[in-house]
Amino acid sequence: MSVATRHYRIGQIVPSSNTTMETEIPAVLRAREAVAPERFTFHSSRMRMKHVTKEELSAMDADSDRCALELSDARVDVLGYACLVAIMSMGKGYHRISEQRLHACTVANGAPAPVVTSAGALVEGLQALGAKKISILTPYMKPLTKLVIDYIEHEGIEVVDSISLEIADNLEVGRQDPRAPIEISRKLKTSGVDAVVASACVQMPSLASIQPIEDRIGLPVLSSSVATVYQMLKRLGLDTQVPGYGALLAARGAGGPSST
């Protein structure tokens, strides 16, 4: 007697101008469907944001509760907050506050769902790799990159080197070539680091670059979207192995029980 395939609903809270997370998260999970039995559907709610400035990010974050409520109406199984710098701009450690608050919104709506923020996922992904020193690539203006560096370092991970592409228009960030980080990352310092973040931004496409960079430098390479998938699978209690997207998703590993 065959066992019914388990389907999971993946919810995402995305900035209104984000065009990447609704392609990269499904792409990784579709790749997982080729090697594992679970199946996924994808559902989004949007927060208004056009330019990656601290003011717009703060105003956008205030709208995330509404999005969590809407997605819980769809009874999603896990909810991802898909804007790393919005969380980091709200203060060190804010991902924990956001995850707890958004989870509480789903509970109050009678549809409790674990919550992952891309900011928390990146930090936790680096910790899962045992990374103490890293180099990062971002599309941000330098002051926002500094904010991201300070946030990561507050979590006990040293940022040895960084490159800022200084693109303020969020739509323009999403138009970047997903293979561009392969060449750009050649300018990053990699000696003495434990891992490289090929895109510390959920809007800058990078999936096609993760494995090629890792193969070249011989170090773990990840991105915000790869880390977000890893944490989503863990929250769902599922195996986290997805081939072709770097060391974080390379090893077989059962996720823990769904929790926040």
Catalytic residue among 76, 201, 213, 219: 201
Catalytic residue among 21, 57, 83, 217: 83
105 is catalytic: no
Residue 196, marked binder: no
What's the Rg (C-alpha) of the chain? 17
201 is catalytic: yes
Helices assigned H by DSSP within 129-248 = 142-154, 170-174, 180-184, 207-217, 224-235
**What are 165's strand-pairing partners?**
none
The residue type at 170: N
CA atoms within 13 Å, Cβ hemisphere of 206: 32
Q: Give the Cα separation of 39 and 192 in Å (integer).
A: 40
How many CB atoms are located within 10 Å of the residue 3 CB? 6
Q: Give the Cα separation of 27 and 1 in Å (integer).
A: 31
Query: Cβ distance 224 to 122 under 8 Å?
Result: yes
Residue 203, marked binder: yes
Residue 159, marked binder: no
Q: Which tokens belong to 160?
A: 């040895």
Residue 83, marked binder: yes
Residue 109, marked binder: no
Residue 193, marked binder: no
Residue 252 buriedness (CB in 10 A; 0-12 / 13-18 / 19+): exposed
Active site residues: 83, 201
Binding residues: 18, 83-85, 140, 170, 202-203
Binding residues for substrate: 18, 83-85, 140, 170, 202-203
